[in-house]
Amino acid sequence: MLQVSGNPDLFSMVLHPAFIVFLAVYALIVLRNLGRVNLPVWTVMFAGAVAMLFLNGISLKTAYAAINLDVVFFLIGMFSIVSGMEASGLLRYITIRLLRLAGTPERVMLFILVALGTISAFLMNDTVAVVATPIVIGVAHEMRIRPTPLLISLAFAVSIGSVMTPMGNPQNLLVALDSGMNSPVLEFLRLLGPPTLINFVLTYYLLKLYYKRDLSAADPPRDLKLDEAITDLRLAKTTGLVAALTIAGFFALSIVKVFGVNTDLNFGSIALLGSAVLYTASPRRREIIRGVNWSIILFFISMFIVMQAVWDAGLINLFASYMPPLNHGDSPANIMNIVGVSVLMSQLMSNVPFVAVYVNLMKSLGFGLLDTKAWLALAGGSTLAGNLTILGAASTIIILEAAEEKGHTFSFYEYLKIGSMVTLVNVTVLILWLTYA
């Protein structure tokens, strides 16, 4: 992917096309909801990639080489499987079944956090965000409360839960692939699983206290119709089996690497294999492929091109000069610095583009496959950054956009108020665990 280049002087860097396009892209991302024009994030990033090419910010050959096909193949494969689960009603069935187990409003919030958060760890947080948002709004209507507390709980759930596996979110996948970890699934679960469980509990009590008035006025959910959830039983069984086998394949890949078995297979190839089986077995293949979230895939392809141009222009070296210094290794100081930078920079750049750049900065400083805790600090910090503001993670933006389509929303300020408390607690747990585990 990215190659380290020289560090040009500040004046020439400011005039570089990559610098100008970069500022325009992120200004539009931050300000995209102001005024009458509402531009999706993927549209802004795609326009930025095209601008980089036409303004000679990057050559076409370099742009092709910058695209990480392992990530793209993984997204196509997993989105295809999830599309099949959604088309059959299986995801809706699982979500409603879990929520029906909750007998009180407080337990509904707990189930949203723990159950949907755990599902996010294995089916990617963006997909759970898309599917669960309308269901959560429906639950809020049944409880006769405003949807905001449950929507924000969902946003926290998919961020916190997705921390503990490399397939939980795109930035974790980037870390797993670029760090060269021998057994990423096992390492993620071993070092990020326990703090994730702790953060589920602590976040629940923070939300329960913060939204005490809303929850006290809520009615228990009763009218969640489970019988109508699955619309295609055959497809539900097929996608359920394919999803289970694909996830098992991720675990198997990590286990065989622990025993020193070398293979060219990776998460992307396993996800593609799962989707190929699904497309072959299902007669609704055209519907499934139409349900794939192609906008997110285009976002990633565009992001790789934009970030390569930014790196080649030396802009990242300029940013790095203002960041806390990193020394090779898993020292407590490194862990704290990586987490802190991840949380702050993800608010500016969103966590996936930030990680796409920072993994290469770490590699240029000598971080390798033995620096497991440092890499996991980057994965955990950048993911938990999504709980601070609505700009920190794509999954939060997805939830907000899906809620607005249903006539509901939550403000930047309300999210920040509870998010700042949740992020502080979550990040503290992460740093302490990685430091002393």
pLDDT per position as a tens digit, 311-362: 788 776 676 666 777 777 778 888 999 999 999 888 877 788 788 888 888 8
The torsion angles phi and psi of 366, rounded to 5 degrees, stand at: 100, 5
In the predicted structure, residue 96 carries a pLDDT above the cut 60: yes
In the predicted structure, residue 420 carries a pLDDT above the cut 90: yes
- Both structure tokens of 34: 């102001």
Contacting residues for 15 by C-beta, under 8 A, at least 6 apart: none
- Cα 189 versus chain centre, distance: 16
Of residues 62, 48, 36, 38, the one with CA closest to residue 353: 48
In the predicted structure, residue 383 carries a pLDDT above the cut 90: yes
**Range name among 63-77, 142-156, 273-287, 352-366 with the lowest pLDDT average:** 352-366
Of residues 149, 147, 142, 127, the one with CA closest to residue 96: 142
CA pair distance 361, 245, nearest whole angstrom: 35
Residue that the structure tokens 């499987």 belong to: 81
> DSSP label at 113?
I
Q: Give the residue ranges of DSSP H helices in 233-327.
A: 233-258, 267-281, 285-290, 294-312, 315-321
In degrees, rounded to 5, the angle at the alpha carbon of residue 434 between the alpha carbons of residues 431 and 437 is 130
Cβ–Cβ < 8 Å for 292, 127: no
Contacting residues for 354 by C-beta, under 8 A, at least 6 apart: 171, 342, 345, 346, 348, 382
Neighbouring C-beta atoms of residue 266, cutoff 10 Å: 17
Cβ–Cβ < 8 Å for 152, 421: no
pLDDT band at 13; cut points 50, 70, 90: low
Output the pTM of the full model.
Answer: 0.80
The torsion angles phi and psi of 69, rounded to 5 degrees, stand at: -70, -25
In the predicted structure, residue 3 carries a pLDDT above the cut 80: no
128 vs 134, 207, 244, CA distance in Å? 11, 20, 16
The chain-wide mean pLDDT, for the chain, equals: 85
Cβ–Cβ < 8 Å for 111, 319: no
pLDDT band at 393; cut points 50, 70, 90: confident
Residue 2 Ramachandran class (φ > 0 left, ψ -120 to 50 alpha, else beta): beta
pLDDT band at 228; cut points 50, 70, 90: confident
CA pair distance 431, 340, nearest whole angstrom: 10
Cβ–Cβ < 8 Å for 221, 143: yes
Q: Region 163-187: what's the mean pLDDT?
A: 89
Q: Which pLDDT value is given to residue 9?
A: 58
Q: Which pLDDT value is given to residue 152?
A: 95
